[in-house]
Amino acid sequence: MVEPNDSISPDNDVDFCTLGMLILDDIDFGGTGPNVKNILGGAASFAVVGARLVAGQEHSRSVTWIVDVGSDFPSEVLDVIHAWDTACVIRQDNSRLTTRAWNGYGPNEKRDFKYLTPKLRLEPWMLSDSQVFSKTFHMVCSAERCVSIVQSIIQRREELRREGKAPSSSQASKRPLFVWEPIPDLCTPEEQEKFFVANRVVDVVSPNELELGMMFGQPGWNEDSDFGKDIVKRILDSGIGPNFNGHLVIRAGKDGSYAFSRGQRIWLPAYHQLDSSGATAVVDPTGAGNSFLGALTQGMVTADRIPTKVISSVLAESEVWKRALEGLGKQSYMLASLIFATVAAGFVVEQIGVPRLSTSTDERELWNGTEFTERVRLYTQRLYRTLEESPQKHLQVN
């Protein structure tokens, strides 16, 4: 088995680390399309795609993760991973099979999931010293495990600092940002209190609208219902983040996303909308939520880079946008991050599996034939128009 490299550079530049797993997926579309097998998937793969889209070619190595490779791992999947040029730690163990799973889709994008081979869960102690000092962490786990992961990472960082093994960057002394994606199986009323406890140790908690509804004994969540409003209030009143200044981000598929904090409510439409004939570019929603959160997480530490500057340029004259930035204060990075997340999810739903990476004749990085920053520009231009037409629909400031 190949173990992670524990060496650490003096200037740590790790932006993003996920504790999700890579999984090879079999997908059953429930009769709406042909079933497929051996697809690169799992929360880690899709979250990394989201983070990598935002990081771009220049900062690709700031995205880190662990990939467990079994004896049956397809070489063509490894080729895809290597092409992304992330700081990927590959651990090969020919005595076991790669983690595989079955995904079954029903009405309204409802997904059923089960493992086909034993999973190898990632734990904080498996991270290298460099990975432990990432600026952000993405987690897909139970509430109890969420709390344990956060505590373990903070403890390891403190131990390394005492031993003089922390990187020299100023970020190393700051608390990292934690983004938590609850696992669907444990979005139940019995888990509510644990859910509230876990929310208080993370900066962003993000169930989808079905999972949030199930957590409180309903088939789904809808903002317009009294139930929907009450649930959001209960979660915010209970507190998100150590200082109660965190965010609830509800992923609502084709209906976009909702972000709530104690100061604001933000709604952003999905990247792909139905055209005049009712057609859509959406092929397969598998992994879109993970990529949404990978991009969101990476975006939270990308304030001074080109994608953020594109958004700022397009929305420079929007009074609604200025008001939203002022309302969020030091957390104004959330606005651009939500746009990055929306655009990243738009890439992922266009095919079965991960989007295709290529290079143009003039060496520009293309995903599904287009630049990430160009899609950010197009989406933001659309957003500018609707912000001005119906600001209350998008933004409410408390």
DSSP class of residue 370 equals: B
For the chain, percent of residues with pLDDT exceeding 70: 96
Count helices and strands in the chain by DSSP H and E runs: 13, 16
Residue 181 and residue 188 in contact, taking contact as beta carbons nearer than 8 Å: no
Q: What was the pLDDT predicted at 12?
A: 58
Residue 339 maps to a domain = yes
Tell me what pLDDT residue 169 has.
77
Domain membership of residue 4 (yes or no) is no
pLDDT of residue 112: 84
Residue 109 scores a pLDDT above 70 = no
Instruction: Name the nearest CA neighbour of 41 among 28, 26, 22.
Output: 22
Query: Residue 91 pLDDT > 90, yes or no?
Result: yes
Tokens of 289: 């939520």
pLDDT tens digits, 313-330: 999 999 999 999 999 999
Buried b vs exposed e over 165-198: b needs ≥16 C-beta within 10 Å? ebbebebbeeebbbbbbbbbebbeeebbebbbeb
pLDDT bin (cut points 50, 70, 90) of residue 108 is low
Per the CB < 8 A criterion, the answer to whether 218 and 227 are in contact is yes
**343 falls within a domain:** yes
Query: Is 221 among the domain residues?
Result: yes
Edge-to-edge order in the sheet of strand 247-251? 87-92, 63-69, 16-18, 136-141, 177-182, 204-205, 247-251, 257-260, 264-268, 395-397
For residue 247, what is the enclosing H or E element? strand 247-251
Residue 89: pLDDT over 90? yes
Q: Residue 5 falls within a domain, yes or no?
A: no
Q: Can you name the residues that pair with 27 across neighbouring β-strands?
A: 36, 103
Contacts 24+ apart (CB under 8 A), 37-43: 38/74, 38/77, 39/286, 39/352, 39/353, 40/77, 40/80, 40/81, 40/353, 40/354, 41/101, 41/103, 41/286, 41/287, 41/353, 42/99, 42/101, 43/18, 43/140, 43/181, 43/290
How many distinct structural domains can be found in the chain? 1
Nearest to 101 by CA among 29, 24, 40: 24
Residue 376 has pLDDT above 50, yes or no: yes
The structure tokens listed for 125 are 């102690």
CA–CA dist 43, 291 (Å, integer): 8
Q: Confidence class of residue 5 from pLDDT cuts 50, 70 and 90?
A: very low
Residue 6 has pLDDT above 80, yes or no: no
pLDDT band at 168; cut points 50, 70, 90: confident
Q: Tell me the residue range of the domain where 343 lies.
A: 16-397
Residue 306 domain-assigned? yes
Per-residue pLDDT tens for 182-241? 999 999 999 999 999 999 999 999 999 999 999 999 999 999 999 999 999 999 999 999
10 domain residue, yes or no: no
Query: Exposed/middle/buried for 245, CB within 10 Å: 0-12, 13-18, 19+?
Result: middle
CA distance 64 to 19: 10
- pLDDT tens digit sequence for 132-149: 999 999 999 999 999 999
Phi, psi of 287 (to 5 degrees): 85, -10
Take residue 106 and report the two structure tokens written for it: 């029903």
Note whether residue 1 is domain-resident.
Answer: no
| Residue-wise pLDDT tens digits, 245-276 | 999 999 999 999 999 999 899 999 999 998 77
3-state helix/strand/coil string of 38-62: EEEEHHHHHHHHHHHHHHCHHHHHH
CATH of the domain at 316: 3.40.1190.20
Task: Say if residue 39's pLDDT is above 70.
Answer: yes
For 356, other C-beta atoms within 10 Å of its C-beta total 14
CA-wise closest residue to 349 among 297, 266, 295, 291? 291
Residue 106 has pLDDT above 70, yes or no: yes
Question: Average pLDDT over the chain, rounded to whole?
Answer: 93
